[in-house]
Amino acid sequence: MIFFTRKTNLFFLFVCATSLLLVSCTDSVAPIYREPLPGLVHAGNLADLEAIFKRYNYSIPNLHQGVPPLIVQSLPDDFAELTTPETKKTSFFKILLPMVLLANERIRQERQVLLQIVAQLEKNQAIDDRQQHLLRTLKQRYKVKGDLLSGETLDILKRRVDEIPAALVLAQAANESAWGTSRFVREGNNLFGEWTFVPGTGIVPLDRPEGETYEVRRFNNLYDSILAYLRNLNTHPAYQTLRQLREKAHQQGRKPRGVELAEGLTNYSTRGEVYVSDLKKIIRTNHLQRFTSVSLRQG
């Protein structure tokens, strides 16, 4: 892997936590949430997790009713024991979908703030200190250099502060974590194989070449892994093509699709185009585009 690199109340907590963070946090690598997380779910086995989902009337056939904002701490211990492929796939997508939507909702709010500020500047309207602080926060979080109010800086920010289609997130999570059975997701909640270069903080791969020092990152929960993945795609130069494809879709007045943005991930794996083809196959075979219009439950 290459890394250049009850219902209404829960949603209300999520929005408040995000808004407060955006106003106060200036560290681009600071955690999005601190305990307790909104809707944090601990389930030692699939039966317990399904009971929680049932309590919220959450199931794939009921997605039109909205998805409850639940954050699952870790995959259940017996998840890998699922032997029926379709059952495993359905459970995998069902567990991750709320967190993917939550992560994208955070980005969506950041983008709305950004676009509002840009609109004011384009009308030659001054922005206040609070707005400048918000802009500096986004600039640091999304690793953009240059003058704060320059057109180039704002253009780069608009390309970076944007969502990743749920279909693509779910497809990569499935591919990178071997459908939730990899050692790294089981031991470190790491869905995407992201690395760390701080010795002793991660998991040492069994096949790490001699002389290498990288480790696979550990995350407090699955949601943090998704947040880190989105930040990686939205900031690193290796995925500039993905961001350009996304921007092009916006310019054409349509939502970016997971299949087309997959074209910007040739640098994500040493397998290059073959890797991209695998992602597209996962999206199409599992009809992941159906999650495009799914939204978080707000009431």
Radius of gyration for the chain, computed over Cα atoms and rounded to the nearest angstrom = 19
- Strands 71-72 and 40-41 turn out to be parallel
- Please indicate, yes or no, if residue 206 is contained in any of the structural domains: yes
How confident is residue 25, by pLDDT bands cut at 50, 70 and 90? Answer: very low
Residues of the chain with pLDDT > 70, as a percent, come to 87
- Please indicate, yes or no, if residue 299 is contained in any of the structural domains: no
pLDDT of 173 above 50: yes
Query: If you average pLDDT over residues 149-177, what whole number do you get?
Result: 97
- Please indicate, yes or no, if residue 1 is contained in any of the structural domains: no
- Please indicate, yes or no, if residue 3 is contained in any of the structural domains: no
Q: What is the pLDDT of residue 38?
A: 56
- Residue 56 sits in which domain range? 8-291
What's the distance, Cα to Cα, between the start and end of the chain in Å?
40
- Please indicate, yes or no, if residue 2 is contained in any of the structural domains: no
The contacts of residue 4 (CB under 8 Å, 6+ apart) are 232, 236, 237, 238, 239, 267
What is the count of structural domains for the chain? 1
How confident is residue 220, by pLDDT bands cut at 50, 70 and 90? Answer: very high
- Please indicate, yes or no, if residue 298 is contained in any of the structural domains: no
Amino acid occupying residue 114: L
How confident is residue 299, by pLDDT bands cut at 50, 70 and 90? Answer: low
- Please indicate, yes or no, if residue 246 is contained in any of the structural domains: yes
Q: What is the pLDDT of residue 40?
A: 87
DSSP E strands in 167-296: the ranges are 195-196, 215-216
pTM: 0.86
Reported residue count of the chain is 299
The contacts of residue 24 (CB under 8 Å, 6+ apart) are none
Q: Answer whether 260's CB lies under 8 Å from 112's CB.
A: no
Query: If you average pLDDT over residues 36-45, what whole number do you get?
Result: 76
Q: What is the overall mean pLDDT for the chain?
A: 88
**Cα dihedral value 141, 146, 147, 150, nearest 10:** -100
The residue ranking higher by pLDDT, 56 or 26, is: 56
CATH of residue 160's domain is 1.10.530.10
How far CA 29 is from CA of 32, 159, 224, in Å, comes to: 9, 19, 11
Smallest Cα–Cα separation from 246: which of 64, 107, 92? 107
Q: What is the pLDDT of residues 223-269, one digit of tens each?
A: 999 999 999 999 999 999 999 999 999 999 999 999 999 999 999 99
Q: How far, in Å, CA of 171 to CA of 239, rounded?
A: 17
**Among the ranges given (39-48, 118-127, 135-144, 162-171), the one the predictor scored with the smallest mean pLDDT:** 39-48
- Please indicate, yes or no, if residue 226 is contained in any of the structural domains: yes
Query: If you average pLDDT over residues 38-42, what whole number do you get?
Result: 79
Q: How far, in Å, CA of 60 to CA of 256, rounded?
A: 23
Query: If you average pLDDT over residues 116-133, what whole number do you get?
Result: 95
The contacts of residue 239 (CB under 8 Å, 6+ apart) are 4, 232, 233, 264, 265, 267, 268
Query: If you average pLDDT over residues 206-213, what whole number do you get?
Result: 90
Q: What is the pLDDT of residues 272-285, one digit of tens each?
A: 999 999 999 999 99
**Among the ranges given (34-48, 67-81, 127-141), the one the predictor scored with the smallest mean pLDDT:** 34-48
pLDDT of 32 above 90: no
DSSP E strands in 134-208: the ranges are 195-196
Distance of alpha carbon 30 from the chain centroid: 15
Q: What is the pLDDT of residue 122?
A: 95
Q: How far, in Å, CA of 210 to CA of 33, rounded?
A: 36
Q: What is the pLDDT of residue 7?
A: 35
How confident is residue 6, by pLDDT bands cut at 50, 70 and 90? Answer: very low
CA angle 86, 90, 94 (to 5 degrees): 170
How confident is residue 5, by pLDDT bands cut at 50, 70 and 90? Answer: very low
How confident is residue 39, by pLDDT bands cut at 50, 70 and 90? Answer: confident
